[in-house]
């Protein structure tokens, strides 16, 4: 599909959803769908506005808070993202995703210990949340806890065996645990799945083999 066709299709969907929210101004689902399509179209401020309308209708929607936090994170508005995810923690049936998002915010800020704490909470609330394990592995590597990083990375691969980043982080953890052949195998798997492995890591690993 051409970019022009895709833009036309999204514009059509947006127009239809805008008509729907005018027809049903108090409908949470209509506003939420519009927010997500705005986001997909790169209209982040409009998406934020619609999500805030969602929260005016239902101020206990963890989903709306999480999506709002995700957009703020993309825009580099970490304070706003953290606030939205903390509110999601209050209302979520399972707060794992919110904890994981909070971990990303702390990691972005260089607060590795807080990131580890948040990712660990995410894995406790949802042991199958691969993204939490994958990021926990990276944070543990940053802390020099290589055996713990390896265990976390292995969990990530176990739950998302076709996720490229999972194999990359496993390769890095194996490298620091001096399992260089294992690291080479995991790195190749990451590349086969489309992950752009850091050239410097490839060079350093090749020197160990």
* pLDDT tens per residue across span 103-119: 999 999 999 999 999 99
Residue 189: pLDDT above 90? Answer: yes
The reported pLDDT for the residue numbered 6 is 47
Least confident stretch, 10-24, 114-128, 134-148: 10-24
- Mean residue pLDDT across the chain: 95
Radius of gyration (Cα) for the chain, nearest Å?
A: 20
Average pLDDT over residues 86-105: 97
Any idea which of 4-8, 54-58, 173-177 has the lowest mean pLDDT?
4-8
φ/ψ bin of 144: left (φ > 0), alpha (ψ from -120 to 50), beta (otherwise): left
Question: Is pLDDT above 90 for 190?
Answer: yes
158-166: long-range contacts (C-beta < 8 A, 24 or more apart)? 159/128, 159/129, 159/130, 159/133, 160/130, 160/131, 160/134, 162/193, 163/130, 163/134, 163/193, 164/190, 164/193, 164/194, 164/195, 165/134, 165/190, 165/195, 166/130, 166/133, 166/134
pLDDT of res. 5: 54
Higher pLDDT, 120 or 1: 120
At 8-57, the pLDDT tens digits run 688 999 999 999 999 999 999 999 999 999 999 999 999 999 999 999 99
Lookup: tokens for 113:
């210990």
Show the tokens assigned to 146.
Answer: 């290589």
Ramachandran angles phi, psi of 169, nearest 5°: -65, -35
User: pLDDT-derived band of residue 2, with 50, 70 and 90 as boundaries?
Assistant: very low
List all residues 6 or more positions away from 35 whose beta carbon is below 8 Å from its beta carbon: 46, 47, 48, 50, 51, 54, 64, 67
Q: Hey, what's the torsion of the CAs at 168, 174, 177, 179, to 10 degrees? A: -150
pLDDT bin (cut points 50, 70, 90) of residue 7 is low
């Amino acid at each position: 599909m051409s970019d022009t066709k895709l833009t036309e299709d999204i514009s059509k969907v947006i127009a239809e959803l805008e008509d729907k929210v005018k027809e049903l101004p108090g409908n949470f689902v209509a506003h939420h769908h519009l927010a997500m399509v705005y986001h997909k179209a790169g209209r982040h401020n409009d998406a934020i506005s619609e999500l805030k309308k969602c929260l005016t209708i239902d101020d206990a929607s963890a989903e709306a808070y999480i999506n709002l936090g995700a957009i703020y994170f993309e825009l580099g508005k970490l304070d706003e993202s953290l606030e939205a995810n903390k509110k999601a923690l209050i209302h979520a049936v399972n707060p794992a995703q919110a904890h994981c998002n909070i971990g990303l915010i702390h990691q972005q800020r260089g607060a590795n210990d807080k990131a580890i704490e948040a990712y660990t909470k995410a894995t406790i609330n949802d042991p199958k949340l691969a993204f939490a394990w994958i990021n926990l592995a990276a944070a543990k590597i940053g802390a020099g806890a290589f055996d713990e990083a390896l265990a976390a990375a292995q969990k990530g691969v176990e739950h998302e065996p076709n996720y490229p980043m999972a194999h990359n982080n496993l390769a890095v953890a194996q490298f620091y645990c001096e399992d260089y052949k294992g690291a080479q195998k995991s790195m190749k798997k990451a590349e086969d799945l489309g992950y752009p492995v850091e050239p410097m890591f490839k060079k350093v690993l090749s020197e160990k083999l």
